[in-house]
Amino acid sequence: MSRASNLAGFSTSIQSVAPSNLVVGVVTATSFVGDGSNLTGVSGFATALSSTQSSPLSKIFKTPQTLDIGAGTSIKVDSDATSGNIAFMRENIIHVSTGATFTVGSGTTFVTNVLGLF
């Protein structure tokens, strides 16, 4: 992109876009290219067997059965009233390594295997 201006009532100018550039705010486009593997703040619920949109495998998904909590890691699951004090995960098994901790906060209901796959 060499230049953009007067987007949605805002006047801005972008002279060049490189991987090191940072855009702050909302970015709208007619399309985005790439697999999205470097996106942050986006949580998917499963992995498609193909990233090619025309492939039927892009509509078939896989997900791990086990959530691993690595050594030296401390995890506390807390929910709140806005979500009914419920937290959930797609995996069925939690493997807590030696030296790790995993706790569920008081008043939080934690549900595993929320998809009912395992």
Structure confidence at residue 112 (pLDDT): 96
Strand, helix or coil for residue 118 = coil
Tokens standing for 97? Answer: 């390594």
Domain boundaries, the chain: 66-111
Structure confidence at residue 15 (pLDDT): 53
| Per-residue tens of pLDDT for the chain, all 118 residues | 444 444 455 445 555 566 666 777 787 878 778 877 777 777 777 888 998 889 999 889 999 999 999 999 999 999 999 999 999 999 999 999 999 999 999 999 999 999 998 9
Structure confidence at residue 1 (pLDDT): 42
Give CA–CA dist 75/6, Å, rounded.
45
CA separation (Å) from 98 to 65, 74, 95, 105? 20, 11, 10, 21
Helix H segments across the chain? none
Structure confidence at residue 74 (pLDDT): 97
Structure confidence at residue 20 (pLDDT): 66
For every residue of 66-85, DSSP letters joined together read EEEE-TT-EEEE---GGGTT
Structure confidence at residue 81 (pLDDT): 95
